[in-house]
Each structure stands twice: as C-alpha cells, then as structure tokens.
Structure 1
Amino acid sequence: MRILLTALLLLSSPALACGPDTDCPVGERQYRISMPADHDGTTPVPALIWSHGYGGSAQGVMKNGSMRRMLSDAGFALIAMNGINGSWNLPNGPRTMDSDGSAEFAYFDAVIADATAQHNIDPDRIVAAGFSAGGMMVWNLACSHPAKFAGFIALSGTYWLKPPATCARPVSSIVHIHGTQDKTVPLLGRPIGETKQGEVEEALSMYENFGDFGPSEYFKTGPLTCRTRNNPTGEVLEYCLFEGGHSFRTEYLAHGLATLMDAGQL
C-alpha cells in the first residue's frame, strides 16, 4: 500500500513529471526543460528560453544534444517553447496580420512563472533566443517585454514587415546573427502572401536610435564578422554575419551567450 501511494504521488506531481522528454503544462500550452547536468536541485540557475523555427517543436529542440551540452556546461537550463502548430502568433505575419502578439507574450509570462516556481530558475538571469521564426519571436519579445529578460539572441529572424516605431523600456542587449546568403529569411526580407519579412538593418537601426547606442566597433571571431555598439547604460547591440545560408550552429548561440555574459548582463 505504501509503495502504491508513493507511486501515485510521483505521478501526480507536475514538477517531477516534466522535463526534457515530457511536456510541462501551462494552461492549454506546454514547454520542456533541461536542467544543467550538475544542478543540485536547490541553487537557482540561469536559463535560456528557446523559440523554435517554423514547423518545429519543443520536443524537436530537446533532440539537439550539442545545444543542450553547451548550455549545461555553461550552467544554464534550456527551456524549449512550443508554438501552436509549429508557428508563432506575431504581428504582420502571413496568417496573423491583425495580431498584436499578446497571446504569445502571455504564454511566455506563464512559462517564466512556472519555471521559476517549479524548477528553481533565477528570474533575473533569463535569456530569450531563437532561430528563424523563433528569431522573429525574440525581436518581438525584446521590444515588448525587455524587463522579463537579461538579454536577447536572434538568429536568422527579424520582424514581419517592419519594426515598430518604438519599444518598451528598459533598453536591452541584443545579439543578432545571420547568414549572408540566407534565401529563407534574406537580410532584405522577401514577400510572403500579403506581407513580407522585414529588413534586418531596419530593425537594427530602429533599436540603435531607440537605445542611444554609440559608434560601431568591428571584429572577427571564428566564422563570424561582427559589429558591436554600446550605450551609456552598458547594454550592447551586436550584429554578426557568417558566410552561408539559413542554418543554425551551436557555436553561433554560444557566441551570443558569451557576448551577453561579457557585457555583464548575466
């Protein structure tokens, strides 16, 4: 009887039931989480919240062993978000022209609240990152929800159509990484249905002016050629290009994370 009761308690506990291989429910949505390998279960840890590309899923993200190892070695939890039917409900999208993004922002708020309560995530050290459509999600979060995150890493994705005229404060640190020959999300965007993908430089220019970022400094690291700007309050706006198409490599994400850490955002 005692063994049966213990088993039932374990099965009924959402904190114990979810992780990298099982969904963590939040309302009608879900996410998955992978904690650092050496996590003791009591010490708050930083986290990277990842938004997948179009057609992806949290389950698919957790199959990326390279990304999981990199984040675990850095002491970060990986929180994999789950779009609805593999997509994100963002302003000016092909099927979401009238959206204000509020449903997605509420979902991210709910996941952050759940993860900090159930998995001992440090709410002051959460980074938002994503690839392709997930990079679009990141730019929208950076503009609408800057106070929720310590920094942002957008890979190969920007706003639909055009950036907003202004953003919410505080100003955030953003790292954007993109392939020079990307044909899926070109640097100049491309028409899709009644809308188009935005231009990367237009998003960067808007945020440079909004955040009072200073002159550019240029450098090269590995396959990345970067320009970086700082503002008077210590935030960084970095733009890195690599020779290639629409592709993700763990080292690109690792560079973005290192940039935020070096800037003192984490």
Structure 2
Amino acid sequence: MKPRMFFWAAFVSATLFGPAAQALDCGNAETPCVVDRGTYHMAMPEDGQAKGIVMHLHGAGAQGKGLLKSGLGRGAVERGYAFVAPDGYHPNSRFVRNWSVRAKGTSFERDDAAFLRDVLADAQAKAGVADMPVLLAGFSRGGSMVWDIACDDPGFAMAYAPMAGALWDDLPDSCTAPVNLFHTHGWNDRTVPLEGRSLRGGTVIQGDVWASLKILRETNGCDARQPERNSFEPERWLRHWTDCAAGRIELMLHPGGHGAPRGWATRMLDWFETVQADL
C-alpha cells in the first residue's frame, strides 16, 4: 500500500470506529495488560467493536490466561463482548494465585476489590465501552470474590454470576444494595460444600450458600422468602426470585461436584442479556 493510501485508511478507521477498533497491544496469554496493582488478560471481538464487558475470576491456583479459551471467554467474544480475565496474585498466600476474599482469620497483601476496579477502568478504556453493561463471573475462590464485590460494591457490574463459591464467615449482616445475581453450585461439591466447611482447625470457615442467599434476599427485598417459582431440567434444579423489590436472584443446582455443569457459559450469557433487556 502506498504511504498516502495507508494514511487515508488509518484515518478512516480511526474516524469511523474509534479506539475500540484498534488492535490491543496486550492481553493475550503471553502478554498480560498491566495496571498499578497487577495484571489481566483480555480478548476483543473480531471486528474490534465491543458492546460491554464480561469479566471472569479464576479459582485458587489458576491464572487469568487459562480462561481466554474457556466456554465463557469464547462465548462472550462471539457475542460481541470484551472478555477480561484478571490475575489473582498473593505471593505469601497458600495459593499464590488467590483472591483477597473477606474472611475471618485471613489477611492478604493486595486489596482485590480496588485491583478489580483498576482492571475494569483500564479494560473499559482499551475497549471503548465506558458505561456499557458488565457481567462479573467467577469460579470457586473467584466465585466468593464475586459475592464480596456484589455485596460490598454493587455498582461494579450490572449482573453477577458466581459459581461454587459464596460469602465466607464472618458473614455480613446485610449487603449494600440490591443486585442481579445467578449462583450455580454442585450438589456433590466437597471442596466448597453448599453448607460451607471449617478450615485450619476452625479458624477459617467457608460460608453457607443458603446463608449468603438469605442475606441477599433481604437486601433485594424478597419479602416472600420463597422463590416466585421453581423449575426443573434434566440434571438441573432452579429457583427464581424474580418478584423482589429490586434485582433478581437465581439459583441453579446440578448433581456434579466442584466444577461447571454442561452449558453453564451459554446460560450465563443468555441470562446476562435477559437482565439487559429487562432494564
């Protein structure tokens, strides 16, 4: 291409598509994006145009780059979202790749609530999607971090999708404001049982999923306590609190253990888009 033609093509691209159409200079598996408190990975739709952000927090011991090829990562990008996978990092923790979940008897080097805010702001700037919808999902320890953010900083995302992780003891008396949250858990999960479990001689206690849901129901104004309806699918049992004063809560149980049930990513993206359509 001649220099003048190249200049014109670059000008048209920048004029019509803006920053979101430009290639990312970081975010792939080998080159994470860097913010003051840590790193994250990111993938954009093929056309460079994103309509929002899907952020996924890995479990303890994992890394963000491993989620780039996950079902949620691929599905989010195919649907036109920027996919963001931050790196949990606490070098003095049992798991270096961990999250500073609020729990009695624990301490961490980094405030991950502040770190995730940094990541979101940086990713929004890179993708050109300020003020567009955000879904925050997470697995296991990452799922517990999602619960903490949903409870303490409800404006972080439009919707929350924790899996196999909930609030830890000491449980808060209440959450800050209503949210849209879809919790998924395995009936046979022995790593993070539905009722939680004691660790380190009882000094650290995983929270009870049912107790976490009760706190959020009260925050959302689900005065009837019981769900508006239940539904059943092959190997799925669901409860739907969709008639609360604000926000909605969904619970999906499956017969498996500590992992994602088949089709989880597609269901979460479908639900996220339903939340957007209902606003």
Same fold (TM over 0.5): yes
Summarize the Cα distance change of 1:83–1:163 in structure 2 as closer, same or farther, 3 Å threshold.
same
Summarize the Cα distance change of 1:56–1:93 in structure 2 as closer, same or farther, 3 Å threshold.
farther
Matches within 5 A, 1:11-30: 16-21=24-29, 22-30=31-39
Residue 239 of structure 2 aligns with which residue? 227
Residue 204 of structure 1 deviates from its aligned partner by: 0.2
Summarize the Cα distance change of 1:222–1:26 in structure 2 as closer, same or farther, 3 Å threshold.
farther
The sequence identity of aligned pairs, in percent, is 27
SS at match of 2:131: strand
SS at match of 1:254: helix
Q: Is the 8 A contact 1:131 1:155 kept in 2?
A: yes
Superposed CA RMSD in Å reads 2.4
SS at match of 1:89: coil
1:212 aligns with 2:237: no
Residue 184 of structure 2 aligns with which residue? 177
Residue 211 of structure 2 aligns with which residue? 202
Q: Deviations over 1:66-119 (max 9, x none)?
A: 3322222222221001101210112216632xx6x9811111111111111112
Aligned equivalent of 1:124, options 112, 123, 132: 132
Residue 245 of structure 1 deviates from its aligned partner by: 0.5
Higher strand share: 1
State the one-letter code of the partner of 2:236: L
Residue 52 of structure 2 aligns with which residue? 46
SS at match of 1:163: coil
Aligned equivalent of 2:44, options 17, 21, 35: 35
1:236 aligns with 2:248: yes
Residue 35 of structure 1 deviates from its aligned partner by: 1.1
- What TM-score does the superposition give when structure 2 sets the normalisation length? 0.81
Aligned equivalent of 1:95, options 101, 106, 126: 106
1:135 aligns with 2:143: yes
- Cα distance in 1 for partners of 2:104, 2:59 equals 14
Residue 81 of structure 1 aligns with which residue? 86
State the one-letter code of the partner of 2:77: S
Q: Is the 8 A contact 2:44 2:50 kept in 1?
A: no
- What TM-score does the superposition give when structure 1 sets the normalisation length? 0.84
Residue 44 of structure 1 deviates from its aligned partner by: 4.3
- Cα distance in 2 for partners of 1:115, 1:52 equals 17
Residue 3 of structure 1 aligns with which residue? none
Any unmatched runs of 5+ in structure 2? 1-22, 90-95
Q: Is the 8 A contact 1:211 1:231 kept in 2?
A: no
- Cα distance in 2 for partners of 1:197, 1:77 equals 32
SS at match of 1:124: coil
State the one-letter code of the partner of 2:155: A
SS at match of 1:256: helix
Aligned equivalent of 2:72, options 53, 64, 67: 67
1:153 aligns with 2:164: no
Q: Is the 8 A contact 2:221 2:246 kept in 1?
A: no
SS at match of 2:263: helix
State the one-letter code of the partner of 2:64: A
More displaced, 220-229 or 28-37?
220-229
Residue 186 of structure 1 aligns with which residue? 193
Aligned residues: 246
Summarize the Cα distance change of 1:18–1:265 in structure 2 as closer, same or farther, 3 Å threshold.
farther
Q: Deviations over 1:121-175 (max 9, x none)?
A: 3433011100000100100010111112101001000011243111222x11000
More displaced, 136-145 or 54-63?
54-63
More displaced, 231-240 or 199-208?
231-240
